[in-house]
Structure 1
């Protein structure tokens, strides 16, 4: 109970795959159609804008993690910048809440996919998934990240299959380019692209989870920033190409109506391969639940270690070298949320909380850049977090607009 040191086992490739696993979840297989509701055939441009917006906050996370490589990263960043313990504790619990609700939402999504292959009740599907993922997270971080890496690679293989079958469509790009280029003078079209970008942004959420693995990373000051940026760049390329493949092959009305646009693309080429990609979607969901349980446990561990939560949450298993009490607690709460509560409202609140955290992290970096005590250490370009603050405020405005008008339906 007194040993609070995690085991450093993660290198750059493993951490990058872990980050990709948090970003490239099952959402990529369904989200393109939802973005097309607003952006139409210009959905790929929406993903480019979303990648730019995610990159701004990603830069701030990378800059802060290089100098403050700690579990409970966001809470530590806020504490270092503002020295206001109540705000740091609040941010830590906000991050934990987002992980719990996200994992519970993912667990509910798992039910529908699993029932396609196996007849099982909702309760037992959720219970078995969370038991397995909590047990794996308890067993060891190296084992957990290897599973995450394997399912992430499987997910990437699925995307590469889709892109391979889309090569003939890509060859038509030169003649289709005029149709895919929005007119600069049409404000309504650009507003739709912007709304699509706000929705597509949620496909990039997940890179921030990487900083909470800091105390299990080898040379975190170097590895963490590189892995965060690499994960955002790689996922951005995949999202853009997948969106492009969708708009080139599916009529707009069909794309908007589709619940599984990637499967619909493959059905045009190979029915068996469409079934295989559905199976990959199931693996991606399992991966998402595991990542969120690992992340939530590390935040609780870090908060306990930094006296922002009860000290017993920082307990490390003497053999497995994992924060076992925090892991079991997160698993139990996720199971309660997934099996007992209606999560639609909680998921909406969670997305709002994530943007609030991004806003505070960007402000923290600005504060540290201009602080006399730390300005020599934090040499990041100030315009990046400043732009991140403005974009975060804009996103919060869109969230408020969504709540008032119900005009945007967000799903990840």
Structure 2
């Protein structure tokens, strides 16, 4: 417990030094083989890049077009460009912070080092919302493609009551629950095994999207691009806010900070590489999609890319191949977001902000098994019972808040620790981080009103947990109790 003479403000603003993060990571690595041993550095640059790609492609392209195109029309291409610009600005900020603080925990850890404990807790809560809700949204979409595939191959589909999203004719989304369970089983086997499986699935996914572009472009008609922006710039902005959760993979890369070889170089390379691959595929596939099908036909169209190919070719096999690829590749997205959430919770548990079960690592697999089971249960429940459109907008909110904090954190850390070793520095500082914050704020402003209500409710719950548990059990708080002069506030 903090001493009585430590003011509440000091408790909320106490910062964890970068050196303390590095010491924790080193101590965890030295303790492998024990019941509470650390994570293992087994992931290389290519595998980490594929983790970033795997966490993004699949969410925005395989099913978001059916909701984003009706908002923006063919101009959805510009919505992805706006999202990509925002992501690019943020990616440069992530690259600097990951090279300076190469630990698990992503934006939570960066906020703890720069803005203080309360800000870190709020950011961590946003990340948990971001990962859990996006994992559930992706798991829900998996059931749609699975139904499309079984219909094309075998002529049957699962009953809507157990396969459709709640609010769209379903009561419980059983395929989503099954997918989450399978991903959790793989993650509990080990990070190296999960990264290898993810890499294979991502390569399949990219191959399937190349197939879509090659076939879809044969049905391209310029008339489908008119009117280009039927709902004006407001529609483009609304769609940009909705699809931004598709760029969650950039954050997922940074959650692997303590499981990456040579992290100060590997992390920045993987983040920038993943962004380039993702942006190229998003823009090309969106362009071919709206060129091959009238924008008014996207509304409510499940498994939209498969439907486009069938319309273009007049045959079922291209659509079947695309649906099979989506069924396989969407697994990689779910796998990565569950992985990312468990590593954030691991860091929060190690800091005493959450109960010990979240930081315990299985000595044989080197993974946080109990943590993974809890995360899997929560995401499975969301996938089973929460409507899909709610999930997408909540994910965008959590992602944008976390991205804005990372960008602001670059400015703060440059001021507070200018001599800190950085494997990468943001070009155009401080303009690039400032623009990133502005872009994130603009996209947040364009989210639906009910999203702000749900997000506010989540923050109230998070603050209740912080003041009821985390503030009292914080490791940094205990260190301050022993040495009050260690409170790190300016």
TM-score bucket of the superposed structures, by smaller chain? 0.7 to 0.9
Check if 1:202 corresponds to 2:245: yes
Work out whether residues 69 and 214 of structure 1, in 8 Å CA contact, stay in contact via their aligned partners in 2: yes
Q: Distance in 2 between matches of 1:386 and 1:26?
A: 27
Structure 1: distance between partners of 2:213 and 2:230 = 32
| Equivalent runs, 1:25-174 vs 2, <5 Å | 25-82=58-115, 84-116=116-148, 117=150, 119=158, 121-122=162-163, 124-168=174-218
Partner deviation per Cα, 1:366-394 (whole Å, 9 max, x = no partner):
111233x3366464321111001111111
Distance in 1, Cα, partners of 2:385 & 2:125: 21
Match of 2:418 in 1: 374
Match of 1:7 among 40, 49, 53: 40
Contact 1:362–1:386 (CA<8 Å) still a contact in 2? yes
1:317-328 alignment to 2 at 5 Å? 317-328=362-373
Query: For structure 1, which segment, 241-250 or 215-224, has the greater mean C-alpha deviation from structure 2 after superposition?
Result: 241-250
Cα distance between partner residues in 2 of 1:8 and 1:40:
45
Look up the match of 1:315: 360
Residues 318-371 of structure 1, C-alpha deviation per residue, up to 9 Å, x if partnerless? Answer: 111112221122122223333455665455334322222122221111111233
Query: Any runs of at least 4 consecutive aligned residues in structure 1 with deviations exceeding 6 A, and if so which?
Result: 179-182
Q: For residue 127 of structure 1, report the CA deviation from its aligned partner.
A: 4.1
1:24 positional shift: 0.2
What is the root-mean-square deviation of aligned Cα atoms in Å?
3.0
* 1:134 Cα offset (Å): 1.0
Aligned residues: 396
| Matches of 2:281 and 2:186, distance apart in 1 | 28
Structure 2: tracts of 5 or more residues without a match: 1-33, 151-156, 164-171, 453-490
TM-score (norm 1): 0.86
Higher helix fraction (1 or 2): 1
Does residue 286 of structure 1 match 2:331?
Answer: yes
Separation of aligned partners in 2, 1:259 and 1:201: 20
| Separation in structure 2 between the aligned mates of residue 341 and residue 396 of structure 1, nearest angstrom | 22
The CA distance in 2 between the partners of 1:342 and 1:246, in whole Å, is 25
Structure number with greater Rg is 2
Shift of residue 35 of structure 1? 3.1
Partners of 1:237 and 1:347 in 2: CA distance:
22
Q: Which SS does the other structure have where 2:60 is aligned?
A: helix
| Alignment TM-score, normalising by the size of structure 2 | 0.73
- Are the aligned partners of 1:368 and 1:375 in contact in 2 as well (CA < 8 Å)? no
Match of 2:8 in 1: none
1:230 to partner: Cα distance: 0.8
User: Does 2:278 match 1:235?
Assistant: yes
User: 2 CA distance for matches of 1:271 and 1:162?
Assistant: 13
Does the Cα contact within 8 Å between 2:400 and 2:440 map onto a contact in 1?
yes
Residue of structure 1 equivalent to 2:9? none
Query: Alpha-carbon deviation of 1:309?
Result: 2.4
Q: Cα gap change, 1:193/1:215 in structure 2, threshold over 3 Å: closer, same or farther?
A: same
1:394 aligns with 2:427: no
Aligned residue for 1:202, secondary structure, equals: helix
Q: 1:188 to 1:326 in 2, by over 3 A?
A: closer
5+ residue gaps, structure 1: 405-412
Judged with a 3 Å threshold, the aligned counterparts in structure 2 of structure 1 residues 277 and 231 are, in CA distance, closer, same or farther, namely same
Q: 1:399 is paired with a residue of what secondary structure?
A: coil
